[in-house]
Each structure stands twice: as structure tokens, then as C-alpha cells.
Amino acid sequence: MKRTCGLGLAMIVVLAAAGVLRAEDAPKPLNGSQAVELAKKYLAEKDPEKKKALLAQAGETPADDPKPFLRLLQPAGYPPAKPGVQHGLKLDLPASVSDKPGEYSLSVPSRYAPNQLWPLVIGLHGGGSGSGSGKEFMQSMMSAVSLPAIIVCPTSVDLGNNFYWRNPKNEAMLDLLVKEMGRQFPVDHDKVYLMGYSMGGIGTYYLGPRGCDRYAAIAPGGGAWKGVYWAALLNTPVYIWHGKQDMRGKNFTDFPNAENAAACLKELGPDYKYEFRAMDCNHFMVPPAEDKAAVEWLLKQKRNPYPKRIVFASPRAKDFMVAVAPSPPDRWLTIDETGPAQLEMDGLDQGGTPRMKHKLKMGTLDASWTAPNTLEVKSQNVKKFRVFLSPNLVDFKKPLKIVVDGKPAYEGPAASSLKFLMQYLDERRDLSMAFVGEVVVEVK
């Protein structure tokens, strides 16, 4: 269904179902139990053609409440898990990510029980020049394994590539790792955290903002960053830990990287939560207790899957070597297309100084649910964006209103779709966040 706003501001497309069918050919809407059974089959199916056929059976069936469907992601049981630390565990990866399995170290807490949810901490190792491993980082984090959390430390899938953790292959690997941990353990998806030190700190500065809807909080340690749109971390707390004597030169991870990251967050105001831990050490002599302190701070943070306000930017981060990439969605918002203009992103030169502004082809949104079923959006250089719909944010029995830059852009129904929900659950595999439809806004 398409509607063109009379003001010429935007064209809205409500995606409630895919495909074009004649009315007499379209499947009849399923009832509640039929919809859940279809979704169950779809989520369990591996064959792409069979999945496509199952998806078509959803037809025009609505799905206003995702709760019964989210429960389908919960395994009937979890495999036995022995408390303690294990090394050399394997992660199956597609050929597009790596030609061999991934490897990780795992710590299961001493009081682990499969009948409760557990936080998940992902630790990114340091290294450089083809060195470093998840085993090494787990060994440095032994002071933290006593905490009530599952800790997993993967090894970079491409140590021979100087992109290291920021390599897009590692971004895909981490997503698969979170999903695999969710199959093995009752992971609390609102308490998944990303941290790292040195090369891992650089990776956290880059991958943390890109995955800010996945991680409840991030903790870059002893790292460096080139460019971050810090305002996009409105809903993602940041723990910055760095040695004050870490001053090896502009090609390394000097302390000003941390000072300036904290300064950027402070300037954004009290809505941005962060902690700056300036350690009394150099880059290499980090006291073991500091890893535990970082994890303790992380465990106090919890993701809000449905915040009332999101600040979105695409791209959200600029790396030293990786090509600038569009941002993935952040909870209920994403940008599909930006305009030709350039906007400014906070940045640093190598070594952490001076502060500068990178000019990039970038779009930004500041979107807030200001009243029931009313979304107000401020946009910069955005041609098209999408809003994902959830009963936690909208009432599907009432009209939806979207205002862009002070002008009405859409007033009409909010539609849900079983088809959309099934695809979202299959892609995301997140036990506590789901969306049942979307509205596409093309800003002219």
C-alpha cells in the first residue's frame, strides 16, 4: 500500500505483506495457533526453497503480538555445560566469512544453571602483526571469571589482515557467535556486552557503535579510534579504560584516545551514560583486577529493546583502514538511503590528537515517540528510512502519525505482518526483541 503525502514531503510505504496476489489467490489469514505452528516450522527449516514456501503460507496474516513467537526461539533444553574455562572451541562459519571454523575460549560461571538467564560478555583480544588469540585474552581475564556471567573470547578470523577486528568478516562472525551462545546457553539478550583491549579496544570502538542495538554496553580498553558518531550511542553505555602512561607514539594507542572519547560523550550531556577509568599503568602492565572492574560495570547495564528515542547515523564509525560502511539497524530505526551532502563526525588523528571533524557522506535521524502512536523525526541528508513497529511502541488499533522535520509525513494505519515477523525472528534470533511490521519513509 502506498500513500503520497499531499505536501510532497514524503512517500510512505507500509510493508504489511510481500508479493502481489489476486484476491482470490491470496491465502486466508491464519488463526493464532496456525500462525505459531507455521512460524515454528519456518524457524526450524534449513532449506531455502522450503522456507520460501512456508513464508508464502503466511499470506496477509497479521501478528500484532510477538510474544508467542519469541518463545519459539527458546530451546526446549540446553546441552550440558560444565563450569570452568575451556579453550579451542570451534564455531562453524560460512565460506563468506572464513574457509575454516572460528575458534573461541569460553568461561561458564561456577554456579551456572540452565533454568535462568545469564549475561554474555564478548572479549576481543589484543595483538597485532598477525598475533593474538581468544585464549590469551581469556587468560588475562581470569579475575573476571568468578563473576555471574558467561564470557566468550573469540580469535579474529583474519589475523593476517591488517583490518584485524574491524574486518567486516569479524563483524559477521560476532553476530554468529552470539546466536551460537544463545543455542548453547540461556543467554539474557538484554545483557550482551562487547569489550576488548589494545587491538580489541580498537575493535570495540568500531564494532560497538555499529552493533549498538545488540550490545547492552561496550568497554573499549587501551584502544584507538578514527571517527565515531557518538550521539548514536544514546542507548548504549560506554566504559572507557586506558593506562595514563600509554604514550607510545601516534601510530599506537595513546592515552588521548580515551580522554577524547570521554570528552565527546561528556559534551553530549546527561542523557549519555559513560565511565572513564584512567588506570595508573602503561599499555602492557594493566593490573589483573582492571578486567574484573570493567566486567562488573558492564553487568550493571541492561539493554532497552524499545527506547522512546533513538539517534541514528549512517555511517556510525570511520576506521583507519576499513571502507566506510552503511550502518545496520538500531532497534526500531534504520536509514536506507542518504543524500549527496556531507555531514560532520567526531574524529581523531593517529595517537588520539588533535580532535577534528571528519566530513562524510552521512545521514542522521533523531527520532522520538512523543505521544501515543506519534513519532517525531529530525532528519539530516536522509532520502529514505524505515521504522519498525512493535506493540511496545504503537497501538495497532489506532492510527499512526509520523512527523518529519516539523511537517506531517504520514497519518494512517499501523499494520503488522506474520511474514515480516517470521523473517525478522529468523535473521535476528533475539529472545527479547522483535518487530512485527515496518513503515518506509521516502523523504523528498
Q: Which three cell numbers stand for residue 371?
A: 505521544
**Structural domains counted in the chain:** 1
Residue 260 falls inside a structural domain: yes
Residue 256 structural domain: 84-299
269 burial (CB, 10 Å; 0-12 / 13-18 / 19+) is: exposed
Cβ burial of 15 (10 Å; 0-12, 13-18, 19+) is: middle
Whether residue 121 lies inside any domain: the answer is yes
For every one of its 444 residues, what pLDDT tens digit does the chain have, with 9 covering 90 and above? 333 333 333 333 444 333 344 555 666 899 999 999 999 999 999 999 999 999 999 999 999 999 999 999 998 889 989 999 999 999 999 999 999 999 999 999 999 999 999 999 999 999 876 678 999 999 999 999 999 999 999 999 987 776 789 889 999 999 999 999 999 999 999 999 999 999 999 999 999 999 999 999 999 999 999 999 999 999 999 999 999 999 998 889 999 999 999 999 999 999 999 999 999 999 999 999 999 999 999 999 999 999 999 999 999 999 988 889 999 999 999 999 999 999 999 999 988 999 999 999 999 999 999 999 999 999 999 999 999 999 999 999 999 999 999 999 999 999 999 999 999 999 999 999 999 999 999 997
H-only helix segments in 90-188: 134-140, 168-184
Q: Is residue 68 part of a domain?
A: no
User: CA-CA distance, 440 to 384, in Å (whole number)?
Assistant: 7
Cα gap 116→192, rounded to integer Å:
15
138 contacts: CB under 8 Å, gap ≥ 6: 85, 87, 105, 107, 123, 151, 153
Q: Which residues of 366-404 are buried (b: 16+ CB within 10 A; e: fewer)?
A: bbebeeebebbbebebbbbbbbbbbbebbebeeebbbbb
**CA distances, 170 to each of 45, 163, 224, 439 (Å):** 26, 10, 18, 31
Q: What is the CATH number of the domain that holds 165?
A: 3.40.50.1820
321 inside domain: no
172 falls within a domain: yes
Would residue 128 count as lying in a domain? yes
- The DSSP annotation for 160-226 comes to TSTTGGGSHHHHHHHHHHHHHHHHHS-EEEEEEEEEEETHHHHHHHHHHHHTTTT-SEEEEES---S
Residues pairing with 192 in the sheet: 120
Residue 215 in any domain: the answer is yes
Query: Grid coordinates in use for 96?
Result: 563468506
Cα angle: 190, vertex 389, 208; to 5 degrees: 40
Q: Is residue 402 part of a domain?
A: no
